[in-house]
Chains A and B, each alone.
Chain A
């Protein structure tokens, strides 16, 4: 997948993967940085993330402890996938990568979007 089809963010964290994993998977910690939730780190678990103006229906797709967390991320018709990937960094920290991309039809839409952008640039 190229950049037009997936939003991706990377950051270098001082804390070790075990600690980052807790912040990504414990509901009370998630609530502090992401949104209010009834999350559980169990594949197949369905939950809701809420903040004013936003409600996301979530399904836990992949749980690989301290390595990868993949979530189905649905807001009405906008159906997407969020993936957190943790890699141990030299010095004891964590390299965190967040990818927000589409399941099939959103990905098609993103391709269209890239297409229309090139159209506007060409026009």
Chain B
């Protein structure tokens, strides 16, 4: 699984992949079930799913000739880390800003 932000963002850039991901949020689906509900070919769906999988956003389970995909939220780790970091970064910086303002000549 890749945790590189670049792979994550490439995977997110495409509207079909976003729609696929959102479908998988609702639950596990087979490739054929997904292909039946999207206006693109099954090979195209498989390619999009491979990209999502490389980015660590979905995982696959093989059952006989069928492949079932489900969401793997671990793929969003770089983004979660980014959000968590800035959630504490800015309040700490704004506290320092208040100190600087108090020390300035008006």
> Which residues of A come within 8 Å of B, CB atoms?
7, 9, 11, 13-16, 19-20, 22-23, 29, 32-34, 76-78, 96, 98, 100, 105-106, 108-113, 115-120
Contact = CB atoms under 8 A, between A and B. Distances in A.
Contacts of A119: 25, 71, 73
A89 B74 CA distance: 43
B100 A113 contact: no
B5 to A, nearest CB: 4
**B interface, how many residues as a size bin?**
35 or more
A5 to B, nearest CB: 10
Given A108-B18, A109-B76, A13 B101 contact: yes
18 contacts: A7-B83, A7-B87, A11-B98, A13-B101, A16-B106, A19-B101, A22-B104, A23-B97, A29-B104, A96-B94, A100-B86, A105-B9, A112-B18, A112-B79, A113-B80, A113-B83, A116-B76, A120-B73
Interface string B74-98: 0010111011001100110110111
The B interface, classified by DSSP as helix, strand, loop or mixed, is helix
Contact of B21 (A14, A20, A112, A120): A112
B90 A98 contact: yes
B104 A23 contact: yes
Contacts of A77: 4-6, 9
B76 A118 contact: no
A13 to B, nearest CB: 6
A108 to B, nearest CB: 5
B106 A19 contact: yes
B13 interface: yes
Nearest to A75: B82
Interface string B46-87: 000000000001000000000000010100101110110011
B37 interface: no
A78 B94 contact: no
Given A108-B18, A109-B12, A112-B79, A32 B73 contact: no
A18 to B, nearest CB: 9
